[in-house]
Amino acid sequence: MEKKTVSLLELNQKIRDVMETNFPDTYRVVAEISEIKVNARGHCYLELIEKAPDSDQPAARARAMIWAYTFRILKPYFETTTGQTLTAGIKVLVEAEVTFHEVYGLSLNIKDIDPAYTLGEMAVKRKEIIEQLRREGILEMNKQLPFPLVPQRIAIISSETAAGYQDFVHQLLNHPGRYHFDLELFPAMMQGKEAGNTIVAALETIYKREKDFDVVAIIRGGGSQADLSSFDNYRLAQHIAQFPLPVLTGIGHEKDETVADLVAFAGLKTPTAVAEFILDRISNFEEKLLSLAAGISYRTKETLTDYHQALKDHGWKLKETVQSHLVTQHRKMDGILRETVYLSKGLLEKEKNELQQRKLILERNKGIFISLHEQDLTNTRHFLRDLYNSNITRFNHQLDLFRQSITHLDPSRILERGYSITHFEGKALKNGEKVKNGDILHTRLYKGTVTSKVVK
């Protein structure tokens, strides 16, 4: 039997009739969007795929479309409900009718999209990412980093035109404390399919200059809730979790916590909240410094008062010692003087007796001895006078030496000659090796006290 010959149009029309006869209803179809385009007239054209279970290769593929009047309703409803942009790479549950066109071939005409299914898929995907990070042991890694006491060198990842970036900078630079900050922007896309990749690229650039910064701030501010899916990205979360500097996130959301927030050192709601977090840390450190300074000032005054009183006490004790020593020396001098007078009287008495004897002899021998004894008497007077003067001079000299020694030992006289006493940690400093850079020294001069800081 000879087969009938038909045109392509006739064949396609037959196929269309079969399709319309056998697929009269709509179908609920689960698929992944691999491509999506919207033309100038507002019609949305998609390519749907289903991947093989054991690979990323498509096991099935179909073209689909959403007419403009339907797309204007479905798109905002889907994105508002899921917080996810209707874009390539997400799985959707659509209600569609099967159509066949003589020119365009097989196509699915989408009538509705179920946001609940995509929400579930997003939650599953998010949970899988978190579990994978936990298995790798890096989920809490960034949170375990020590946070700088004074974070002033800040690497900012944001869009230069983002309002959140401007709010962040304004909040830091116009704080009443007027703290100094070194801010450097590393531009990145903060929404859209490529947002995660550009943020990772910015992190990699900062990593090369790790020593130049204290913290990293990833801030977005404003924007649609639908753009948060960029921050539920495994590659981005992995980089943040393992980054060697504390990472702060403020991507402008009030309800949901993204995976990026979860692995960051601190996930904050807004860029302004990130700025406040940094300012609070610096303010707390400043308050501690002021408290320590007040304590040091109080202890210094207290110590100086104690030393002043101790110096007074030492002065009184020294005065009492000097007076006691002088009294002792005076007593010794009085004893020496009395002994000298007693010896002088003895000698004079002896000489007087000798003179009496000689007088008798002289009376018998006046002419012979008078001249001789007159000379002896003169010599004796000179000897006694010299002995007395010598003793007086010697003891006066000793007394002057005692006075000079006592005067030289007076601390105030030592200080007056240009010397000083340096104290460190409440004790007189005798060895310069005991101090280091930054130590505080107190030096007492003849008039006043100088407090200094060791710089070398």
Q: What are the tens digits of pLDDT across the range 406-424?
A: 777 677 777 777 788 888 8
For residues 212 and 148, what is the distance between their CA atoms, to the nearest angstrom?
Answer: 13
Kindly report, residue by residue over 199-211, the tens digit of the pLDDT.
Answer: 999 999 999 999 9
Helix (H, G, I), strand (E, B) or coil at 34: strand
With contact defined as beta carbons under 8 Å apart, do 170 and 270 qualify?
no
pLDDT for res 116: 78
- Asked if the model's pLDDT at residue 138 lies above 70, the reply is yes
What are the percentages of helix, strand and coil residues in the chain, rounded to 5? Answer: 55, 20, 25
Helices first, then strands: H and E counts in the chain: 10, 14
Query: DSSP characters for 116-162?
Result: HHHHHHHHHHHHHHHHHHHHTT-TTTGGGSPPPSS--EEEEEE-TT-
With contact defined as beta carbons under 8 Å apart, do 218 and 199 qualify?
yes
Give the residue with greater pLDDT, 404 vs 274.
Answer: 274
With contact defined as beta carbons under 8 Å apart, do 253 and 269 qualify?
yes
Kindly report, residue by residue over 213-238, the tens digit of the pLDDT.
Answer: 999 999 986 555 556 667 888 888 89
pLDDT for res 265: 92
For residues 414 and 130, what is the distance between their CA atoms, to the nearest angstrom?
Answer: 75
pLDDT for res 186: 94
- Asked if the model's pLDDT at residue 157 lies above 90, the reply is yes
Highest mean pLDDT among 9-18, 36-45, 244-253: 36-45
Kindly report, residue by residue over 297-341, the tens digit of the pLDDT.
Answer: 888 888 888 888 888 888 888 888 888 888 888 888 888 888 888
Task: Specify the range with the lowest mean pLDDT, choosing from 30-34, 74-78, 346-350, 372-376.
Answer: 372-376
Highest mean pLDDT among 35-44, 107-116, 118-127, 304-313: 35-44
